[in-house]
Chains A and B, each alone.
Chain A
Amino acid sequence: MSTMLRLDGVVAGYGAGDVLQGVDLTVDGGSVTCIVGPNGAGKSTVLRAISGLLRPSNGAIVYQEQEIHRRAPDEILELGVTQVPQSDALFANLSVRENVLMGAYIARRDRKLVERRYAEVSELFPLVGERSDERAGNLSGGQRRSVEFARSLMLDPSLVMLDEPSVGLDPKALKVVAAAMKRMVEAGKTLLLVEQNVRFGLRMSTHGVVMESGRVLMHDRADAVLNNPEMTDLFFGGTPTKAPPPTAARA
């Protein structure tokens, strides 16, 4: 499997301090990679940097051999990288169909393409066809998440990034979301996700990345990461012995 996405020593922040302090990361084509870590580790920030919403002050982000860390968000969209953000990005008062269609907004001039993509996405997510005229805001949590996934696929991206897809969902909804993710993988998409729910995230994935205080501590096969006893310590207040000492947070 070839490397699809690579981060080299990425340093980035929001002014007060750098959230990412030198992130090294690779994502192989066709894999499902999950980033886990405690609060403030910088997980969501990595996704933002990749999407072009945050510019790194140092380091590089390379996608399919192209450097993307200096590009604008819509350029990155066009290259085939989409993101489903953590907080609600759904258009509550539009119908399910319209929500999904809006995913192809930048391609709207090519009607045939949009129709074809919509048909393909509906096949992948039957929910879209079944509830196409319903107001999106009326759906349950898991269903809304699925609609957001469907929307993210309209431009036929190669890399789909999911920011905490499980947050706020009950076990039943989790199953729905897991099934949806599985379908995306079967359709040939590479997934990069950030997860707070460590077990869910790593069980869904082929590879796992553990981050803490803006750096990558561990990068291995998902089951290896999940079964690593050091990791439990990390989440429950101890300091893993192999990790570099965390930098003191600022006053």
Chain B
Amino acid sequence: MSTVDTVERIGLDRRLWRGVIAVAAVLLIAYPLLSDDLFYQNMIILSLVLAVGAVGLNIIMGYAGYISLGQSAFIGLGAYTVGIATTRIGGDPFVWVPLAGLVAAAFAALLGVIAMRTRGFAFVIITIAALFILQIVAINWDSLTQGTSGITLPLPRWDISIQNWPFYYTLIALLGASLLLSWWIRRTKIGTGLLAIREDEDKAATIGIDTPVYKIIGFMASAVFLGMAGGVYGYYIAFIDPTAMFDIVISVQIILAVILGGRGTLWGPVLGAATIEPLNELANQQFGGGNSRLLIFGGLLTLTILLLPKGIIPSVRDLLERRTKRGRAALVGGRLGERRALNGRPATATGGTGRNLLEVKGLHKHFEGVRALDGCSFAVEEGTITGLIGPNGSGKTTAFNLIGGTMRADAGEVWFDGRRIDRLSPWRRAYAGLGRTFQITRVFTDMTVLENVVAPLRSFSWRQLRAGAVSGEEAARAEELLAFAGMAEYRDERAEALSFGQRKLVELAQVLMLDPKLILLDEPAGGINPTLIARIAEMIRELNAQGKTFLIVEHNMPLVLGLCEPVLVLASGECISTGTPDEIQRDQQVLDAYLGADFQLEEPVAAP
């Protein structure tokens, strides 16, 4: 949720807020022209560097939820790039600033590649390690970096009356650029993808989000302008050495700026940076820096996590939300909206085409002690609505997990559309045309309904990634799907507010966004009222008529018997029977499976 929304809630007019920002920006730009005070100019310059760092960190941490304690590594890399290039090759340091950005981005990509198979906290570890290793390299590789003696840059050659203006304005430009980048990312599918990763990375993978690539993009975006700012900063200080350039406290300050200001908001990090830097100055001037600085920022970090884990802006927002519970239409139990039929060419033939779209061969999967799937094999014919039933513990959801890719099988093969997919990542399976819903719905609660449906990626293309999340082609498509599901009027509501049944509809719309060939539905009728069940059945039939194949796990027998043909029966991890609903109902084997293995005791247990 953006700062603007929060501001709206406080009651301020959107335009007033924009006015405030505009005035602040003008003041900032005009300041050096109005005042000669180098002290405050210095403070602003340092704040700007922090702000660029915070805005960047917000992309990987605020949006994607991956915390980096190593952002100051990019400052150091940028500074050293400019320093080394200027002293070795020559030219004006400013010329090398773009290169500094490239170097930082490249390093971020490298770290990303190493970290991409790990999760959450392993990423923090890698960023800390990266920062320290760079410091060690800077100290020891003295033929390149002059080691601890540092690199001294020549003093600026411009007119002294201009003072620090070049630094000042370059940094403002960099801050502007990073804000633009952050804003742009947030309003495209890259942004929705990153948010999805933060909320539910596994679910994001199943809707086509190539999580490692997204994370690398996010991380590179956090690095590029910070690297440039680092280059400028290095020139500004004119002395580049390992301790000052790879300073962990600056990393902590950047994190604090994001956390205090509010993760995930656009202006929050800037606000945070503007708060942190004066504190830094205070620590240095009044308390002699060093240990006091450590104490203040370490303590602040600790206290912030303990007391205000969400940050100032979101905490204020939550506080206000609790007070002004305006009658946002009680969405829970709300009536179902009107449904629109799908536009689309009907399939040339209804019912099965005779070709197997999905084939599962000899799947084995066991968890500690339990055999969930034991040589399970079955096939789903293209164009059918196939049911998958079986008693509890028969392996149905495990089978879905293996087919969809959220789990790896111990043995066996999964073939889809003529290709073997059991080694593919979940997003590649989505690109191949496989979609899946979950028994307990998984939607991204922090995003709006529309963003939820826009987030999926049909195939990996820059065109799709660049597409707008709330307007443009992709958004239009998403709206169409929402209308189909009858959820169009909820498009701007946060998914968190939806009822269980409404979330099911949104999840279905998400899956349809992938334009899948096969849709796996996990208990679509579970926990919802008969009217909604009927509607979902209607939707399934309509989609099937347009050529989509379904595999449905269900416990609701009347639904299965009325909707599906054929029906597959799983028991004890194997497929024991397949046939028409009538045949299944009369199959003794199936009955046995439901009532339990025919178990005969030698002697009775106890006298009644």
Contacts and interface: CB of A to CB of B under 8 A. Distances in A.
- The answer to whether A and B come from one shared complex is yes
A159 interface: no
Interface stretch (A52-60, A74-82, A115-123, A174-182): A174-182
A249 B529 contact: yes
Contact of A236 (B368, B370, B392, B591): B591
Given A167-B392, A251-B500, A197 B597 contact: yes
A107 interface: no
Interface in B364-379: 368-372
A232 to B, nearest CB: 7
A174 B71 CA distance: 57
B34 interface: no
B605 A38 contact: no
Given A32-B605, A39-B392, A237-B557, A249 B527 contact: yes
Given A39-B392, A137-B368, A203-B599, A248 B530 contact: yes
Interface in A91-115: 92
A172 B224 CA distance: 62
A221 interface: yes
A130 B556 CA distance: 46
Contacts of B594: 198, 235-236
Interface string A200-227: 1101111100000000000001100000
A140 B369 contact: yes
A21 interface: no
A174 B369 contact: no
Task: Say what secondary structure dominates the interface of chain A.
Answer: loop
A178 to B, nearest CB: 7
Interface residues of A, number: 46
A144 B370 CA distance: 11
Contacts of A182: 605
Contact of A251 (B393, B532, B572, B596): B532
Interface in A184-210: 185, 195-201, 203-207
Interface in B553-608: 555-558, 560-561, 572, 585, 591, 594-601, 605-608
B596 A31 contact: no
B100 to A, nearest CB: 50
A236 B532 CA distance: 22
B333 interface: yes
Interface in A156-181: 166-168, 170-171, 174, 178, 181
A235 B601 contact: no
Contact of A232 (B529, B595, B597): B595
Contacts of B391: 196-197
Residue from the set A30, A139, A196, A251 with the largest chain B CB neighbour count within 10 Å: A251
Nearest to B557: A237
Contacts of B268: none
A185 B603 CA distance: 13
A13 interface: no
Contact of B527 (A168, A203, A235, A250): A250
A141 interface: yes
A251 B369 contact: no
Interface in B526-554: 527-532
Contacts of B608: 31, 206-207, 221-222
Contacts of B558: 237
Nearest to B607: A206
Contacts of A168: 369-372, 393
Contacts of A250: 333, 500, 527-529
B606 A203 contact: no
Contacts of B598: 199
A88 interface: yes
A171 B600 contact: no
A197 B368 contact: no
B499 interface: yes
Nearest to A168: B370
B501 interface: yes
A139 B597 contact: no
Residue from the set B371, B600, B605, B607 with the largest chain A CB neighbour count within 10 Å: B605
Interface in B474-502: 499-501
Contact of A170 (B333, B371, B527, B528): B371
Residue from the set B555, B572, B599 with the largest chain A CB neighbour count within 10 Å: B599
A200 B499 CA distance: 38
A237 B556 CA distance: 7
Contacts of B500: 250-251
A249 B558 CA distance: 15
A140 B368 CA distance: 9
Given A170-B371, A197-B596, 16 more contacts: A32-B605, A40-B555, A139-B369, A141-B370, A167-B370, A171-B597, A171-B599, A197-B391, A197-B595, A201-B596, A203-B600, A206-B607, A207-B608, A235-B594, A237-B557, A250-B333
30 contacts: A32-B605, A32-B606, A39-B392, A39-B555, A88-B368, A88-B369, A137-B368, A167-B393, A170-B371, A178-B599, A185-B606, A196-B391, A196-B392, A196-B393, A196-B596, A197-B595, A198-B596, A199-B599, A203-B599, A204-B605, A205-B605, A206-B606, A232-B595, A236-B557, A237-B557, A237-B585, A238-B557, A250-B333, A250-B500, A251-B529
Nearest first, the 10 A-B pairs at minimum CB distance are: A237-B557, A197-B596, A199-B596, A168-B370, A251-B501, A206-B608, A141-B369, A251-B529, A200-B599, A198-B595
Interface of B: 333, 368-372, 391-393, 499-501, 527-532, 555-558, 560-561, 572, 585, 591, 594-601, 605-608
Interface of A: 30-32, 38-40, 88, 92, 137, 139-141, 144, 166-168, 170-171, 174, 178, 181-182, 185, 195-201, 203-207, 221-222, 232, 235-238, 248-251
